[in-house]
Protein backbone atom coordinates (compact mmCIF):
# COMPACT_ATOMS: atom_id res chain seq x y z
CA UNK A 1 0.00 0.00 0.00
CA UNK A 2 2.86 2.41 0.80
CA UNK A 3 4.08 2.10 -2.77
CA UNK A 4 0.94 3.83 -4.03
CA UNK A 5 1.27 6.86 -1.76
CA UNK A 6 2.96 8.55 -4.71
CA UNK A 7 -0.41 8.65 -6.42
CA UNK A 8 -2.04 10.67 -3.63
CA UNK A 9 -1.22 14.18 -4.73
CA UNK A 10 -2.03 17.17 -2.55
CA UNK A 11 0.19 19.79 -4.19
CA UNK A 12 -1.27 22.67 -6.16
CA UNK A 13 -0.48 25.70 -8.28
CA UNK A 14 0.77 27.61 -5.21
CA UNK A 15 3.41 25.09 -4.14
CA UNK A 16 7.16 25.52 -4.51
CA UNK A 17 9.17 24.03 -7.35
CA UNK A 18 6.34 23.21 -9.73
CA UNK A 19 7.42 22.63 -13.33
CA UNK A 20 11.05 21.78 -12.46
CA UNK A 21 12.81 18.55 -13.48
CA UNK A 22 16.36 17.18 -13.14
CA UNK A 23 17.71 14.30 -15.23
CA UNK A 24 20.12 11.95 -13.42
CA UNK A 25 22.68 10.60 -15.90
CA UNK A 26 25.58 8.19 -15.65
CA UNK A 27 26.69 4.80 -16.92
CA UNK A 28 25.78 1.50 -15.18
CA UNK A 29 27.63 1.28 -11.87
CA UNK A 30 28.06 5.05 -11.53
CA UNK A 31 25.60 5.09 -8.64
CA UNK A 32 22.80 7.32 -9.95
CA UNK A 33 20.17 6.08 -7.52
CA UNK A 34 22.58 6.26 -4.57
CA UNK A 35 23.58 9.84 -5.39
CA UNK A 36 19.95 10.80 -5.86
CA UNK A 37 19.06 9.58 -2.35
CA UNK A 38 21.89 11.67 -0.92
CA UNK A 39 21.06 14.94 -2.71
CA UNK A 40 17.25 14.66 -2.85
CA UNK A 41 15.76 17.67 -1.12
CA UNK A 42 13.48 16.79 1.77
CA UNK A 43 12.29 20.38 1.72
CA UNK A 44 10.93 20.05 -1.81
CA UNK A 45 10.36 16.28 -2.21
CA UNK A 46 10.73 15.93 -6.01
CA UNK A 47 9.00 12.83 -7.33
CA UNK A 48 11.27 10.17 -8.81
CA UNK A 49 10.49 8.86 -12.29
CA UNK A 50 12.19 5.47 -12.46
CA UNK A 51 11.03 2.58 -14.64
CA UNK A 52 13.32 0.14 -12.80
CA UNK A 53 11.34 0.60 -9.56
CA UNK A 54 8.23 -0.86 -11.18
CA UNK A 55 10.08 -3.70 -12.88
CA UNK A 56 11.75 -4.76 -9.64
CA UNK A 57 8.44 -4.78 -7.74
CA UNK A 58 6.18 -6.36 -10.36
CA UNK A 59 8.58 -8.25 -12.61
CA UNK A 60 8.75 -8.07 -16.37
CA UNK A 61 5.01 -7.76 -17.01
CA UNK A 62 5.22 -5.44 -19.98
CA UNK A 63 1.60 -4.30 -20.34
CA UNK A 64 0.92 -4.01 -16.61
CA UNK A 65 4.21 -2.25 -15.90
CA UNK A 66 3.73 0.20 -18.76
CA UNK A 67 0.21 1.03 -17.56
CA UNK A 68 1.47 1.75 -14.04
CA UNK A 69 4.38 3.96 -15.06
CA UNK A 70 2.19 5.92 -17.49
CA UNK A 71 -0.44 6.45 -14.80
CA UNK A 72 2.18 7.66 -12.33
CA UNK A 73 3.82 10.10 -14.74
CA UNK A 74 0.44 11.44 -15.87
CA UNK A 75 -0.45 12.23 -12.26
CA UNK A 76 2.91 13.89 -11.66
CA UNK A 77 2.69 16.09 -14.75
CA UNK A 78 -0.96 16.97 -14.16
CA UNK A 79 0.11 18.35 -10.76
CA UNK A 80 3.24 19.98 -12.28
CA UNK A 81 5.31 18.29 -9.57
CA UNK A 82 9.10 18.67 -9.35
CA UNK A 83 10.79 15.59 -10.82
CA UNK A 84 14.01 13.61 -10.71
CA UNK A 85 14.29 11.55 -13.91
CA UNK A 86 16.28 8.46 -12.86
CA UNK A 87 16.98 5.25 -14.75
CA UNK A 88 16.52 6.83 -18.19
CA UNK A 89 18.52 5.86 -21.23
CA UNK A 90 21.61 8.02 -21.64
CA UNK A 91 21.24 8.16 -25.42
CA UNK A 92 21.12 11.64 -26.92
CA UNK A 93 17.85 10.98 -28.72
CA UNK A 94 15.93 9.71 -25.67
CA UNK A 95 17.08 12.51 -23.39
CA UNK A 96 16.43 15.14 -26.05
CA UNK A 97 12.95 13.68 -26.58
CA UNK A 98 12.04 13.70 -22.88
CA UNK A 99 13.66 17.07 -22.26
CA UNK A 100 11.65 18.49 -25.16
CA UNK A 101 8.41 16.96 -23.92
CA UNK A 102 8.82 18.47 -20.46
CA UNK A 103 9.82 21.89 -21.76
CA UNK A 104 6.94 21.97 -24.25
CA UNK A 105 4.47 21.72 -21.35
CA UNK A 106 6.22 24.34 -19.26
CA UNK A 107 8.94 22.54 -17.29
CA UNK A 108 12.43 23.90 -16.76
CA UNK A 109 15.01 21.11 -16.95
CA UNK A 110 18.49 20.45 -15.60
CA UNK A 111 20.93 17.56 -15.26
CA UNK A 112 23.08 15.94 -12.58
CA UNK A 113 25.90 14.03 -14.29
CA UNK A 114 27.54 11.25 -12.24
CA UNK A 115 31.27 10.77 -12.79
CA UNK A 116 32.77 7.39 -11.95
CA UNK A 117 35.85 5.48 -13.11
CA UNK A 118 35.47 2.37 -15.23
CA UNK A 119 37.24 0.20 -12.62
CA UNK A 120 34.79 1.26 -9.90
CA UNK A 121 31.81 0.71 -12.18
CA UNK A 122 32.96 -2.82 -13.01
CA UNK A 123 33.49 -3.67 -9.31
CA UNK A 124 30.02 -2.42 -8.40
CA UNK A 125 28.39 -4.26 -11.27
CA UNK A 126 30.02 -7.52 -10.19
CA UNK A 127 28.29 -7.23 -6.79
CA UNK A 128 24.80 -6.77 -8.21
CA UNK A 129 22.18 -9.49 -8.26
CA UNK A 130 21.19 -8.55 -11.78
CA UNK A 131 24.15 -9.42 -13.98
CA UNK A 132 25.35 -6.76 -16.44
CA UNK A 133 27.84 -7.86 -19.12
CA UNK A 134 31.29 -6.33 -18.67
CA UNK A 135 31.46 -5.39 -22.35
CA UNK A 136 28.24 -3.38 -21.99
CA UNK A 137 29.60 -1.40 -19.04
CA UNK A 138 32.86 -0.64 -20.86
CA UNK A 139 30.98 0.61 -23.92
CA UNK A 140 28.47 2.58 -21.83
CA UNK A 141 31.29 4.26 -19.87
CA UNK A 142 33.01 5.32 -23.09
CA UNK A 143 29.77 6.60 -24.63
CA UNK A 144 28.64 8.65 -21.62
CA UNK A 145 32.01 10.39 -21.36
CA UNK A 146 31.80 11.34 -25.04
CA UNK A 147 28.30 12.74 -24.53
CA UNK A 148 29.13 14.87 -21.48
CA UNK A 149 29.98 18.05 -23.49
CA UNK A 150 26.72 17.68 -25.43
CA UNK A 151 24.62 17.31 -22.27
CA UNK A 152 26.42 20.25 -20.69
CA UNK A 153 25.56 22.42 -23.70
CA UNK A 154 21.85 21.60 -23.80
CA UNK A 155 21.27 21.79 -20.03
CA UNK A 156 22.80 25.25 -19.80
CA UNK A 157 20.35 26.43 -17.09
CA UNK A 158 21.57 23.75 -14.68
CA UNK A 159 24.31 21.15 -15.11
CA UNK A 160 25.97 19.70 -12.00
CA UNK A 161 28.72 17.06 -12.02
CA UNK A 162 29.03 14.74 -9.01
CA UNK A 163 32.12 12.54 -8.52
CA UNK A 164 31.16 9.12 -7.15
CA UNK A 165 34.23 6.92 -7.13
CA UNK A 166 34.68 4.95 -3.91
CA UNK A 167 35.20 7.38 -1.04
CA UNK A 168 34.69 10.53 -3.13
CA UNK A 169 31.10 11.27 -2.18
CA UNK A 170 31.85 12.62 1.29
CA UNK A 171 29.65 14.89 3.41
CA UNK A 172 31.16 18.05 1.91
CA UNK A 173 30.46 16.90 -1.65
CA UNK A 174 26.93 15.79 -0.75
CA UNK A 175 26.16 19.11 0.93
CA UNK A 176 27.44 21.07 -2.07
CA UNK A 177 25.38 19.04 -4.54
CA UNK A 178 22.33 19.20 -2.27
CA UNK A 179 22.52 23.01 -2.12
CA UNK A 180 22.87 23.28 -5.90
CA UNK A 181 19.89 21.05 -6.66
CA UNK A 182 17.74 22.70 -3.98
CA UNK A 183 18.56 26.12 -5.45
CA UNK A 184 17.46 24.89 -8.88
CA UNK A 185 14.16 23.58 -7.54
CA UNK A 186 13.41 26.71 -5.49
CA UNK A 187 14.51 29.41 -7.96
CA UNK A 188 12.02 31.21 -10.18
CA UNK A 189 10.86 29.38 -13.31
CA UNK A 190 12.74 30.27 -16.50
CA UNK A 191 10.47 28.62 -19.07
CA UNK A 192 8.12 31.21 -20.67
CA UNK A 193 5.61 28.46 -21.54
CA UNK A 194 5.40 27.50 -17.89
CA UNK A 195 5.13 31.12 -16.81
CA UNK A 196 2.13 31.62 -19.11
CA UNK A 197 0.50 28.41 -17.85
CA UNK A 198 0.90 29.41 -14.20
CA UNK A 199 -0.54 32.87 -14.91
CA UNK A 200 -3.54 31.37 -16.71
CA UNK A 201 -4.15 28.84 -13.95
CA UNK A 202 -3.99 31.44 -11.19
CA UNK A 203 -6.35 33.72 -13.10
CA UNK A 204 -8.90 30.90 -13.44
CA UNK A 205 -8.17 29.38 -10.01
CA UNK A 206 -7.21 26.05 -11.56
CA UNK A 207 -5.08 23.68 -9.45
CA UNK A 208 -4.14 21.12 -12.09
CA UNK A 209 -3.34 21.09 -15.80
CA UNK A 210 -6.46 19.02 -16.52
CA UNK A 211 -8.63 21.75 -15.02
CA UNK A 212 -8.30 23.72 -18.25
CA UNK A 213 -4.82 23.73 -19.81
CA UNK A 214 -4.94 20.23 -21.31
CA UNK A 215 -7.57 17.60 -22.00
CA UNK A 216 -7.07 14.09 -20.67
CA UNK A 217 -6.39 12.74 -24.17
CA UNK A 218 -3.76 15.44 -24.77
CA UNK A 219 -1.95 14.63 -21.52
CA UNK A 220 -2.15 10.89 -22.23
CA UNK A 221 -0.55 11.51 -25.62
CA UNK A 222 2.32 13.41 -23.98
CA UNK A 223 3.02 10.48 -21.65
CA UNK A 224 2.71 7.90 -24.45
CA UNK A 225 5.35 9.80 -26.42
CA UNK A 226 7.61 9.72 -23.35
CA UNK A 227 7.59 5.91 -23.25
CA UNK A 228 7.94 5.23 -26.97
Note the pLDDT of residue 1: 35
Number of domains in the chain: 1
Give the list of residues 6+ apart from residue 189 with CB closer than 8 angstroms, or none.
18, 19, 20, 106, 108, 195, 198
Q: What is the CATH number of the domain that holds 94?
A: 3.40.50.300
Which residue ranges in the chain fall short of pLDDT 70? 1-12, 41-42, 51-64, 87-90, 129
Note the pLDDT of residue 190: 93
Where would I find the H helices in 155-205? Answer: 171-186, 192-204
219 within some domain? yes
Note the pLDDT of residue 151: 94
pLDDT tens figures, 157-166: 899 999 888 8
Note the pLDDT of residue 90: 62
6 within some domain? no
Do 185 and 17 form a contact (C-beta atoms < 8 A)? yes
10 within some domain? no
pLDDT tens figures, 98-142: 999 999 999 999 999 999 899 988 888 777 767 778 888 888 889
**∠ at Cα 99 (94, 104), nearest 5°?**
130
DSSP secondary structure letter of residue 15: S
Which range of residues forms the domain containing residue 73?
15-226
Amino acid sequence: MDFFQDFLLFESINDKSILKAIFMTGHPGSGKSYVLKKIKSGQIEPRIVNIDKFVEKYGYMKDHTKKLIKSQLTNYINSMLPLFIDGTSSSKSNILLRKGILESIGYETGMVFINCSLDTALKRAAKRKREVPEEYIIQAHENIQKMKPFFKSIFHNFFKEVDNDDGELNDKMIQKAYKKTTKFFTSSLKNPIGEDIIEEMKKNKWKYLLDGIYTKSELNKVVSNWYK
